[in-house]
C-alpha cells in the first residue's frame, strides 16, 4: 500500500484549496507579538539523568501568556561548540517523559529540545506544563475543546504559540 497518492514531483508543488478567515494572518501576528512581551530568558538547569554520553538540561521558557513551558534539552556530552538543534513537539496527549526516551538525536550529534505540551502527559509519558487558562462553557473532558467558542481563548492557540516560542 502506498504511503501517498501523488508522485513526489507533484507532492512538492501541491497546494490544496483552503479557506482561511480574512484576519488569519493578523490574528497570528498579534498572538506572537503578545507572546514576545513575555520574553524572559529560558532557564537551563543541569539534570543528572545518569547518562555518560548525553548532557541533559531541564528547560523552562515562557510560552503563551508568559506561562512556563517545560522541556528537556539533550546534547552530546562531547559537544564543544554550537550544534544544529531538532525541536520536538509532541502534540496532544504527550508529555516530555524521561530523558532516556529521547536519545536518538543527541546520539547522532544534534542538540534536541523536547517541549512539553501544556496540560498533557500521563503516567507513561509525564508532563510538567499546566494550562492555567479557563475551559469555557462548551469544554468536554480533555483539552481539545477548551475555549473552542472563541479563537482568542482556544486551547490550540496557546499550544501553537508555545511551539513557536520553543
C-alpha cell recorded at residue 10: 507533484
Q: What is the pLDDT of residue 122?
A: 57
Q: Does domain 42-165 have CATH number 3.40.50.12160?
A: no
Q: What is the value of pTM for the model shown?
A: 0.80
Convert 100-141 into a string of H (helix), E (strand) and C (coil): HHHCHHHHCCCEEEEECCCCCCCCCCCCCCCCCCCCCCCCCC
C-alpha cell recorded at residue 133: 487558562
Give the span between the Cα atoms of 33 and 67, in whole angstroms. Answer: 15
C-alpha cell recorded at residue 98: 524521561
Q: What is the pLDDT of residue 133?
A: 72
Specify the DSSP class assigned to residue 160.
H
Could you read off the pLDDT tens digit of each residue along the chain, which spans 166 residues? 456 688 889 989 998 898 999 999 999 999 999 999 998 899 999 999 999 999 999 999 999 999 999 999 999 999 999 999 999 988 777 778 889 999 999 999 999 999 988 877 655 555 667 676 765 555 555 677 788 888 898 988 999 999 999 9
C-alpha cell recorded at residue 89: 513537539
- Nearest Cα to 78, choosing from 108, 98, 99? 108
Helix (H, G, I), strand (E, B) or coil at 87: strand
Q: Give residue limits of the domains in the chain.
A: 42-165
Distinct helix (H) and strand (E) counts, the chain: 4, 5
**Residue labelled with grid coordinates 523552562:** 60
Amino acid at each position: 500500500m502506498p504511503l501517498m497518492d501523488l508522485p513526489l514531483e507533484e507532492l512538492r508543488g501541491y497546494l490544496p484549496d483552503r479557506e482561511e478567515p480574512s484576519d488569519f494572518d493578523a490574528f497570528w501576528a498579534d498572538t506572537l507579538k503578545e507572546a514576545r512581551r513575555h520574553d524572559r530568558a529560558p532557564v537551563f538547569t543541569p539534570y543528572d539523568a545518569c547518562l555518560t554520553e548525553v548532557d541533559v538540561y531541564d528547560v523552562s521558557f515562557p510560552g503563551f501568556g508568559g506561562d512556563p513551558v517545560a522541556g528537556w534539552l539533550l546534547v552530546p556530552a562531547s559537544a564543544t561548540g554550537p550544534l544544529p538543534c531538532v525541536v520536538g513537539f509532541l502534540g496532544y496527549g504527550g508529555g516530555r517523559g524521561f530523558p532516556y526516551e529521547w536519545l536518538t538525536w543527541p546520539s547522532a550529534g544534534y542538540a534536541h529540545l523536547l517541549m512539553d505540551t501544556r496540560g498533557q502527559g500521563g503516567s507513561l509519558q509525564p508532563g510538567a506544563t499546566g494550562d492555567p487558562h479557563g475551559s469555557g462553557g462548551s469544554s468536554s473532558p480533555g483539552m481539545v475543546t477548551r475555549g473552542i467558542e472563541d479563537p482568542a481563548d482556544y486551547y490550540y492557540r496557546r499550544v501553537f504559540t508555545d511551539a513557536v516560542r520553543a
